[in-house]
């Protein structure tokens, strides 16, 4: 394309030059007779001015003289104007062609750069969905005392990574063995590169190591860490060591990996430990009926100086018999120094109670909890836009936080809550708060589905309100936030939303936190 532009530019430049050098000033024509030879036919043409007849183009040959064209003075002014307009356009075209060259040179230089030996030192790249990998990357950076560049993979491409001698990845796995949202672009770039260009020679290649975060209860344990490793090797990166798998943020395992990495970059005696804060319990209230086998608790925790945004998570590490694994909970508030939670007492398939939820549900006023705030980038609000919040069970928790944040913003946007649980009489969590938000005009609409007391599910609301939902998204620009368990609820809702909105529209407005 740049070549076509350049050819046009050269032609345009020649044209401008010809007009400026050869065009006859009109006064010169007026004063007498101008001869011009037609190169194609060989005939001699003469331009003659007559006060009565205007400008005459005469054909002169051996036998006779004939008038070929006659132009008035106005015609001549128009010709001249037209010539100048064309000259200016041609000049602009030429300048544009010149401007294209530096761009082209830049692109060529960049692609050459990717083949050159790595010139930068160490890069630490993280891919996180619920903030754990990001948090670790920041701790590694602190421990390495700024010896490494640290970036989220969403800001990187393969060419940029090749500029480093070594790249360390801290990545989690999401969905069923999938990359976190932030890694999709890099994965696409790696696939593109692996199918188009041959890998550079191994002598100049960047080396890498992967710390893979996951959860062993998933069949696809640390799957993204492994698929990333394969892709990097396919495009010519050199693996330094086997993928290091970490189960549910086991800090002993994280620390062992870090010791090896730190040693290899010349750092000695750097320790890494989870940056936990101590929260004090202000309130613990059992929300549903006393003998309910799915007890839900409202907890209010206090920690001086703690900050977060609506939609963020808190990772709680219970003090019980080791080994203990952290557990993530959606924050149900948006307040400085305070974190509210909605915790379900988890019961495993064999009937035993979940460790972290038991620990939290038994806490009394004044007890303390070690925890860490986790940035949940993909589930935060994106400005003050209308919201459709769809949640089931304790998945309604972040929406209370959203509405508190919107209240602080004095939002005038429209907000719609669709909530599903089992029993209207027991499970209407945060009823008083949502009613108040509705009375204040912040919550435009609430729809609830009670599966046991009314045999009604969230999907039934979506079907009934499909036209309204479509209009909210396509006409009001509403964003959809979906939170709850993936199996059953999440999958069904996603299916229904795809029917109503179509896949493309849904992808552009959906934020989901399905677990």
Ligand X SMILES: Cc1cc2nc3c(=O)[nH]c(=O)nc-3n(C[C@H](O)[C@H](O)[C@H](O)COP(=O)(O)O)c2cc1C
Contact by Cβ (8 Å): 209, 169? yes
The dihedrals phi and psi of 444, each to the nearest 5 degrees, come to -75, -35
Q: Return the number of the residue (132 or 311) whose C-beta is nearest ligand X.
A: 132
Q: Return the number of the residue (223 or 461) whose C-beta is nearest ligand X.
A: 223
Least Cβ distance, residue 474 to ligand X (angstroms): 28
DSSP 382-426: -SS--EEEEEEGGGGHHHHHHHHHHHHTT--S-EEEEEEES-TTT
Q: State the residue number with the nearest CB to ligand X.
A: 214
Contact by Cβ (8 Å): 302, 338? yes
Q: What is the b/e burial string over 217-228, where b = at least 16 CB atoms within 10 angstroms of the residue's CB?
A: eeebbbbbbbbb
Q: Return the number of the residue (80 or 325) whose C-beta is nearest ligand X.
A: 325
Least Cβ distance, residue 275 to ligand X (angstroms): 14
Least Cβ distance, residue 318 to ligand X (angstroms): 15
- Sheet bearing 33-37, strands edge to edge: 33-37, 44-50, 54-60, 65-71
- Two structure tokens written together for 258: 């870090």
Q: Are strands 54-60 and 65-71 parallel, antiparallel or unpaired?
A: antiparallel
Q: Return the number of the residue (61 or 176) whose C-beta is nearest ligand X.
A: 176
Neighbour tally for 53: CB within 10 Å: 12
Least Cβ distance, residue 151 to ligand X (angstroms): 15
Listed in sequence order, the residues at least 6 apart from 373 whose beta carbon sits closer than 8 Å to its beta carbon are 131, 277, 306, 307, 308, 312, 313, 314, 315, 331, 339
Q: Return the number of the residue (236 or 311) whose C-beta is nearest ligand X.
A: 311
- CA–CA separation, 294 and 335 (whole Å): 28
Q: Return the number of the residue (123 or 403) whose C-beta is nearest ligand X.
A: 123
Least Cβ distance, residue 177 to ligand X (angstroms): 5
Q: What does each C-alpha distance from 140 to 143, 261, 465 come to in angstroms?
A: 5, 10, 48
Q: Return the number of the residue (213 or 231) whose C-beta is nearest ligand X.
A: 213
- Two structure tokens written together for 263: 């040693």
Least Cβ distance, residue 183 to ligand X (angstroms): 10
Q: What does each C-alpha distance from 274 to 252, 255, 271 come to in angstroms?
A: 10, 10, 10
Q: What does each C-alpha distance from 262 to 139, 145, 172, 302, 443 come to in angstroms?
A: 12, 11, 21, 35, 51
The dihedrals phi and psi of 475, each to the nearest 5 degrees, come to -100, -35
Least Cβ distance, residue 395 to ligand X (angstroms): 12
Would you call 22 exposed, middle or buried from its count of C-beta atoms within 10 A (0-12, 13-18, 19+)? exposed
DSSP E strands: which ranges in 6-136? 33-37, 44-50, 54-60, 65-71, 120-127
Q: Return the number of the residue (253 or 368) whose C-beta is nearest ligand X.
A: 253
Least Cβ distance, residue 373 to ligand X (angstroms): 12
Least Cβ distance, residue 353 to ligand X (angstroms): 20
Q: Return the number of the residue (213 or 232) whose C-beta is nearest ligand X.
A: 213
Q: Return the number of the residue (379 or 437) whose C-beta is nearest ligand X.
A: 379
Least Cβ distance, residue 212 to ligand X (angstroms): 8
- CA–CA separation, 298 and 330 (whole Å): 12
Least Cβ distance, residue 365 to ligand X (angstroms): 30
Q: Return the number of the residue (138 or 514) whose C-beta is nearest ligand X.
A: 514
Residues that bind ligand X (CB under 6 A): 128-133, 172-177, 180, 213-215, 218, 220-223, 249, 514-515
Would you call 153 exposed, middle or buried from its count of C-beta atoms within 10 A (0-12, 13-18, 19+)? buried
């Amino acid at each position: 394309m740049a070549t076509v532009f350049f050819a046009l530019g050269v032609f345009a430049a020649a044209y401008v030059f010809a007009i400026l050098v050869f065009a006859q000033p009109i006064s010169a024509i007026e004063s007498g007779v101008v001869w011009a030879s037609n190169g194609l036919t060989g005939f001699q043409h003469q331009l003659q001015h007559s006060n009565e007849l205007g400008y005459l183009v005469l054909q002169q040959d051996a036998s006779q003289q004939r008038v070929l064209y006659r132009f008035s003075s106005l015609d001549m002014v128009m010709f001249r104007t037209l010539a100048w307009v064309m000259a200016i356009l041609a000049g602009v075209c030429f300048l544009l062609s010149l401007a294209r060259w530096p761009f082209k040179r830049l692109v060529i230089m960049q692609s050459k750069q990717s083949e050159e030996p790595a010139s930068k030192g160490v890069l630490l790249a993280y891919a996180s969905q619920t903030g754990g990998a990001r948090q670790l990357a920041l701790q590694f950076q602190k421990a390495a005392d700024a010896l490494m560049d640290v970036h989220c993979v969403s800001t990187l491409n393969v060419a940029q990574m090749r500029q480093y001698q070594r790249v360390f990845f801290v990545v989690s796995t999401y969905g069923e063995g999938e990359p976190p949202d932030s890694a999709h672009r890099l994965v696409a770039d790696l696939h593109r590169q692996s199918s188009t260009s041959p890998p550079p020679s191994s002598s100049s290649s960047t080396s890498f190591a992967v710390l893979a975060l996951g959860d062993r209860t998933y069949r696809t344990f640390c799957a993204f860490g492994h698929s990333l490793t394969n892709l990097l090797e396919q495009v010519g990166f050199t693996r330094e060591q086997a993928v290091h798998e970490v189960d549910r943020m086991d800090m002993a395992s994280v620390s062992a990996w870090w010791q090896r990495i730190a040693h290899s970059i010349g750092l000695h005696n750097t320790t890494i430990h989870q940056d936990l804060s101590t929260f004090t319990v202000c309130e613990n209230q059992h929300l549903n009926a006393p003998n309910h086998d799915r007890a839900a608790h409202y907890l209010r925790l206090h920690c001086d100086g703690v900050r977060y945004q609506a939609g963020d998570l808190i990772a709680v590490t219970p003090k019980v018999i080791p080994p203990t694994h952290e557990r993530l909970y959606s924050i149900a508030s948006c307040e400085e120094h305070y974190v509210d939670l909605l915790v379900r007492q988890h019961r495993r398939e064999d009937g035993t109670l979940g460790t972290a939820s038991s620990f939290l549900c038994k806490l009394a006023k004044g007890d303390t909890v070690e925890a860490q705030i986790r940035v949940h980038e993909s589930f935060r609000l994106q400005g003050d836009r209308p919201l459709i919040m769809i949640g089931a069970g304790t998945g309604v928790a972040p929406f209370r936080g959203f509405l508190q944040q919107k209240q602080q913003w004095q939002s005038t946007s429209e907000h719609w809550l669709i909530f599903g649980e089992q029993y209207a009489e027991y499970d209407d969590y945060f009823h008083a708060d949502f009613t108040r938000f509705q009375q204040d005009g912040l919550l435009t609409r609430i729809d609830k589905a009670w599966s046991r007391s009314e045999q009604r599910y969230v999907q039934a609301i979506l079907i009934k309100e499909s036209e309204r939902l479509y209009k909210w998204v396509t006409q009001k620009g509403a964003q959809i936030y979906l939170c709850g368990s993936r199996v059953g609820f999440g999958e069904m809702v996603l299916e229904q939303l795809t029917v109503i909105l179509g896949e493309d529209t849904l992808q552009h407005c959906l934020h989901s936190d399905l677990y």
